[in-house]
Amino acid sequence: MSEVIISPSILSANFAALGDEIRAIDAAGCDWVHLDVMDGHFVPNLTFGPPVIRALSALTQKPFDAHLMVTNPDRLLAAYAEAGCQLITVHAEVCDHLDRTLSQIRDLGCRAGVSLNPHCSPEVLRYVVDRVDLVLVMSVNPGFGGQSFLNSQVAKVRDIRALFGDREVIIEVDGGITPETAPLVVEAGANALVAGSAVFRGGPSEYQKNIQALRDAVAHCAG
């Protein structure tokens, strides 16, 4: 199968040295950088927004993969694009006008993503498939790193692949991804993996090995 994208979530990075952490995962061979934006409302936790992302985007050429866990994503889409995000993913659960929000993301020159919480059916995507570049399947309830993978989401990945048929789409899975769980979702049709704890564990000297362990785990998957 074609290469699976590895997108480390900096939620598990050392926030006291975020710039160094970005440089370290870049040097360790990540494909994208996953940015978990949390508003303390859609999810209980609170992280960072456009100013921090802008500062970090100056440090790497790797695409920035923004995951907006916020109640009102429409308000700041342009700010995320200007801050250097190439992919912007919103949660279907908070978008009253998902079709319009996805168009706006593309109009800003970014790739448009939709994320689905574990309870959320992919049926919500059926009539917007032509506006979607990426589907982000949450395999934990969003808000925190280091949670256990929910096996229930493997079937959802398969359903999304079937829903899109021959259309090109990136199916990214986020939460509890390790060398043990990664093959389950790649076999089901995922082609991008977010990993926080599995990449950042052990500190910078381990990042290359940790990323390679994920690549090796899915190298022989049918996909």
Q: Using an 8 Å Cβ cutoff, are 15 and 35 in contact?
A: no
62, 67, 156, 161: residue in contact with Zn ion (rule CB under 5 A): 67
Helices (H), 75-152: 77-83, 98-107
Binding of residue 161 to Zn ion (CB under 5 A): no
Catalytically annotated residue among 74, 130, 174, 216:
174
Binding of residue 196 to ligand DX5 (CB under 6 A): yes
Q: Which residues contact 42 (CB under 8 A, 6 or more apart)?
A: 69, 70, 71, 91, 93, 94, 142
Binding of residue 133 to Zn ion (CB under 5 A): no
Task: Considering the complex, state which of residue 169 and residue 194 has its C-beta at the smaller distance from ligand DX5.
Answer: 194
Residue linked to tokens 């859609």: 42
* Strands laid side by side in the 64-69 sheet: 5-8, 192-195, 170-174, 134-138, 111-116, 85-91, 64-69, 33-38
If contact means CB under 5 to 8 A according to the sort of partner, which of Zn ion, ligand DX5, none does residue 183 touch?
none
If contact means CB under 5 to 8 A according to the sort of partner, which of Zn ion, ligand DX5, none does residue 49 touch?
none
Angle, in degrees to the nearest 10, between helices 18-27 and 50-57: 50
Rounded Cα distance, 11 and 144, in Å: 8
> x/- site string to ligand DX5, residues 31 to 60, per CB under 6 A?
---x-x------------------------
Ranges within 203-222 binding ligand DX5 (CB under 6 A): none
- Nearest distance from C-beta of residue 222 to Zn ion, angstroms: 26
Binding of residue 65 to ligand DX5 (CB under 6 A): no
Closest residue to ligand DX5: CB criterion: 196
Q: Assign 67 to helix, strand or coil.
A: strand
Task: Considering the complex, state which of residue 184 and residue 195 has its C-beta at the smaller distance from ligand DX5.
Answer: 195
177, 186, 188, 193: residue in contact with ligand DX5 (rule CB under 6 A): 177
74 is catalytic: no
Tokens in use for 38? 């949390």
Q: Which residues contact 179 (CB under 8 A, 6 or more apart)?
A: 198, 213, 214, 216, 217
If contact means CB under 5 to 8 A according to the sort of partner, which of ligand DX5, Zn ion, none does residue 196 touch?
ligand DX5
DSSP at 220: T
Binding of residue 174 to ligand DX5 (CB under 6 A): yes
Rounded Cα distance, 63 and 25, in Å: 12
| Binding stretches for ligand DX5 (CB under 6 A) | 9, 11-12, 34, 36, 67, 140, 142-143, 145-147, 174-177, 194-198
Q: Catalytic residue positions?
A: 36, 174
| Binding stretches for Zn ion (CB under 5 A) | 36, 67, 174
